[in-house]
Each structure stands twice: as C-alpha cells, then as structure tokens.
Copies of this chain bind each other. A is one copy, B any other.
Amino acid sequence: MTTEQDSASVEERVRDLLHSDDVESAREVLLAMHPADQADLFDSLDDDERQTMFSLLDADGAAGLLEHMDEELRKEIAEKMPRGTLAQILDRMKNDIAVDILHEMPPAEASLTLAQMRTAAEVLPLLQHSDETAGGLMTRGYIALHKDMTAEEALAFLRATKPLAEEAYYLYVLDGQNHLQGIVNLRQLVVSEPQTRLSDVMVTDVVSVAPDTDQEEAARLLQRYRLRSLPVVDADGMLSGIITADDIIDVIQEEATEDMYRMVGVGADESALAPVGQSLRRRVPWLVVNLMTAFLSALTVSLFQGTIERVSTLAAFMPVIAGHGGNTGTQVTTLVVRGLALDEVEVKDAATIVAKEIAFGIVHGALVGALTAGLAYLLSGNYWLSIVVFAAMVGNVLVAGIMGALIPLGMRTVKIDPALASAIWLTTFTDVAGFLMLLGTGALLVSKLQ
C-alpha cells in the first residue's frame, strides 16, 4: 500500500543513491516506484541527476517514465535523445502518447524516428489526426476478436497470445473486414458456455465516435454512458482505435482548465510557475486588449467632466455602480459558460435565462440600490443623489444580468468558444453602461445635486 509520506521519503533515498556509486541499489529502489512517482522525482532533479536516473532504466522503464512526464519536459527530453534510442522507447509506449511526442518534434526528425520504429505501421495511421480529436486520443492497444469465434476459442486465443493490451476488459468483435460488429467483455466470455459464438453474446448497440470527433464530445459521451473506453470507428465502419477513460479524465481536466483560463484571457498552457518571459507573451496581449476596452470607460467618464467637477460625490459612486455590475454579470457568465460546457444549458434556453435574470435583477437591484442610496445620503445629505445612485444601480445590475447571459450564449451561437475572455467583454459593458447611467442621470439633475 502506498501513502504520500512513503513516496516523499523514497524520493529522498533515490536522490541520495543517484549521487552514490551504488548503482544496483539505486536501480532497485527506482524500479519499485510507480512511473508516476518516478516522473515527479525526475522533474525535481538537475540535469546530471536526470542523466544518471535515465541510465538506470531500460527502454520499458524509460517508456513508463515518459508516459507520466509533464508535456513540456517530455518534449525537451525527447529532443535530446539519440534517434534510435527514442524509437525503441516509443515502441514500448502507449500509442497515443508516442504519437503526441512525434507530433511535438520537427516533421523531418519525426519521420526519421518513425522509420526506426518497430511499431511504425501501427503508429503511422494515428499520426494523421489532430491532437484535440478522438483520432488524436486513440490507441491501438485493444484486443480484437472475430465474430465467428466461440467463447472457448476466444479464451484459448487470449491464453496463447497473452496480449498486453491497455484495454483488456472490453473485447472488440470484428468481421473479416475489420468492421466493428459489437463488444463483449471478458467477464461474459468467462461465464459463457464454451460453445457460445461471440456474435450471440456481444453487445451491438455500441456508442462510438468518428476519428475527427472533437475530444470534448468524446469525453461527454464516455461520461454520459459511464463507459470505460470508447471505440473510434471510421466512415466505413472499421475500428480505428479506442479511447480509454484515463485519457478522457485528462481531457476533462484540460477542458475545465481551458475554460477557467480563457474566461480571464489566459491561454490553457499558461501556468503560475511558467518562466516570466513565457508568461509575458501569453498574458500581456489580452491584457492590452483589456486596457483598450478600459479606455472606452475613460472616454465615457471624460464626457461628464463638467458634471463631476460640480458634483464630485458622483465619482465616489462610479466604482460601486460599475464594480457591482461587473460582479453580478460575471456570476451569470460563469454559470452560463460552465452550464454550456456540461451540456446543462443550451442556446435555446436564452429567453428563459434572460427572463430569469431580469426578475433576479429587479429584486437584487432594489436591495443593493437601496443600500447604496443609503450610503449616498450619508455622504452627501442629498436625497436627489440617492435617487440617481439607486436608478443607476438597478439599471446596471439589469444590464449585467442580461449581458452576462447573452455574451456567452451569443458566442456559442456564432461558434466561438463562449469562455473566450467573455468576462472582459462583460465588464466593458457594465463599466460603460454604469457610468452612462450614473453620470448621465447626474448631468440631467445636476442642479438638484449641488
């Protein structure tokens, strides 16, 4: 049984052994570690230690380590490796990850590596699919059986070939032309009468995806039908590969991260710990777009300079009205973006959501408007100012609720990712609308406010 504490102290031990001459002990402790823990350890080592650690692993071990390594580090390591060694390691790796590594290499380098791979014929067809599709996620690590086999023959076949497939529970039943006919699971095979034909026990109502299906859709299906793996079937009905649940879990995490980051204008590959140069390139462009939208707010306010000079208390309420609108709308945008991602909200719900947010905004606006009006009266002693502040607050939370829903739904309608910086468009709206309502009403009533 493995615990958190264990793996920390094991890491310490390996690190010490890497610096000693006791190669055998180092190898032994290292091989006892799970590849995921090896990858963690590797990440924390310096270049020399990494080289020593790598030298302790055979091609199988190196394959396991690379499989669990962080994408960027993996790329770096693969680049430094002699082509022949890399080819051997890729041969022993899960197909889908081997393909990812080849994708990350310069095309010329990738083809030369592929030429030295024993599994080239298996990996080559996978290479044509883009990274974010079902084809890019699939592996050839499945077990295929012919539909005319009996349960007994199928078990004998497994015993004879001892296939080390990634997915060995679902067995894929094909006809002579590799068309997927159905799925039988290993339990059924074991408990069936020996003479039963696979075609009689297989499940034929199979949920499958095409190679160019988006990975998000594949994740949605696997999750919806609570599957362990998902077959990828081409236009001719031939089985191209399978996607396993562990890869889908990665997709789900990635997509959630992407949505969270995109909402605030950050790319999915950014990280809090990335080097500052990378972060500048990844974050600053959007921040500058942001700034330009903020300039719109500045110009809106500058239209009312005369009013602000005469009633400077209005300036104190600018951040309250604009900020509260922004927060209100961001809640709605977040709910809609996530609802769309989880398939709980659809574009056709737009009218329902807007109607609801209007009702929400009237009640909520009246409450926060009254509180803000109270503060305005305390600060100025002028009840006309309270009225202006109240009206602007109610108006802005209504705008916020409506736009908070419509911006992401509109983006989805025109097939733009609704998460894409929707918070930025929203706050531009709530800032400008808030200032227009507060300062505009203020300008109309300026004689009452002084």
Of all chain B residues, the one with the shortest Cβ separation from A165 is B187
Which residues of B have CB within 8 Å of A224?
36
Are B284 and A364 in contact, CB atoms less than 8 angstroms apart?
Answer: yes
The segment from A52-60, A103-111, A260-268 that touches chain B is: A260-268
Q: Which of A36, A187, A205, A259 has the most CB of B within 10 A?
A: A187
Which residues A300-354 have CB closer than 8 A to chain B? 301-302, 305-306, 308-309, 312-313, 315-320, 322-324, 327-328, 330-332, 334-336, 338-339, 342, 344-345, 349, 352-353
In the docked arrangement, what's the CA distance between A287 and B360, Å? Answer: 12
In the docked arrangement, what's the CA distance between A222 and B332, Å? Answer: 33
Are B252 and A249 in contact, CB atoms less than 8 angstroms apart?
Answer: yes
Are A339 and B272 in contact, CB atoms less than 8 angstroms apart?
Answer: yes
Which residues of B have CB within 8 Å of A335?
261, 266, 270-272
10 contacting pairs across A/B (C-beta < 8 A): A1-B233, A260-B260, A271-B344, A273-B345, A276-B360, A283-B364, A290-B324, A298-B317, A305-B312, A308-B308
When the two chains form the complex, which single residue of B205, B287, B327, B423 contacts A424, counting CB atoms closer than 8 Å? B327
Which residues of B have CB within 8 Å of A375?
295, 298
In the docked arrangement, what's the CA distance between A323 and B323, Å? Answer: 9
The segment from A19-27, A114-122, A154-162 that touches chain B is: A154-162
Which residues of B have CB within 8 Å of A405?
272
When the two chains form the complex, which single residue of B261, B276, B371 contacts A338, counting CB atoms closer than 8 Å? B261
Which residues of B have CB within 8 Å of A113?
none
Which residues of B have CB within 8 Å of A185?
168
5 additional A-B residue pairs with CB within 8 Å, beyond A273-B353, A297-B319: A223-B250, A245-B245, A273-B345, A287-B328, A294-B320
A113 to chain B, nearest CB (A): 25
Number of residues from A at the complex interface, CB < 8 A? 113
Q: Which of A225, A257, A298 has the most CB of B within 10 A?
A: A298
Q: C-beta contact mask, A355-373 vs B, less than 8 Å → 1, else 0?
A: 0100110011001100110
A144 to chain B, nearest CB (A): 15
Which residues of B have CB within 8 Å of A334?
260-261, 263-264, 266
When the two chains form the complex, which single residue of B186, B233, B249, B301 contacts A187, counting CB atoms closer than 8 Å? B186
Which residues of B have CB within 8 Å of A352?
273
Are A272 and B336 in contact, CB atoms less than 8 angstroms apart?
Answer: yes
Are B319 and A279 in contact, CB atoms less than 8 angstroms apart?
Answer: no
Decide if A248 is an interface residue (CB 8 Å cutoff).
yes
When the two chains form the complex, which single residue of B272, B291, B313, B356 contacts A353, counting CB atoms closer than 8 Å? B272
Are A305 and B297 in contact, CB atoms less than 8 angstroms apart?
Answer: no
Decide if A226 is an interface residue (CB 8 Å cutoff).
yes
Are B324 and A313 in contact, CB atoms less than 8 angstroms apart?
Answer: no
Hey, which bits of chain A sit against chain B, CB under 8 A?
1-2, 32, 34, 36, 155, 158-159, 162, 168-169, 185-187, 190-191, 205-208, 222-228, 233, 245-246, 248-250, 252-253, 256-257, 259-261, 263-266, 270-273, 275-276, 279-280, 283-284, 287-288, 290-291, 294-295, 297-299, 301-302, 305-306, 308-309, 312-313, 315-320, 322-324, 327-328, 330-332, 334-336, 338-339, 342, 344-345, 349, 352-353, 356, 359-360, 363-364, 367-368, 371-372, 375, 379, 405, 423-424, 427, 431, 435
Known contacts A159-B190, A207-B2, A261-B338; A332/B299 CB under 8 A: no
Which residues of B have CB within 8 Å of A249?
222-223, 245, 248-249, 252
Are B319 and A431 in contact, CB atoms less than 8 angstroms apart?
Answer: yes
Are A345 and B246 in contact, CB atoms less than 8 angstroms apart?
Answer: no
Known contacts A276-B360, A312-B305; A1/B291 CB under 8 A: no
In the docked arrangement, what's the CA distance between A169 and B322, Å? Answer: 57
Of all chain B residues, the one with the shortest Cβ separation from A191 is B162
Of all chain B residues, the one with the shortest Cβ separation from A380 is B302
Which residues of B have CB within 8 Å of A295?
320, 372, 375
Q: Which of A34, A301, A353, A405 has the most CB of B within 10 A?
A: A301
Which residues of B have CB within 8 Å of A190?
155, 158-159, 186, 190
In the docked arrangement, what's the CA distance between A263 and B332, Å? Answer: 13
A71 to chain B, nearest CB (A): 12
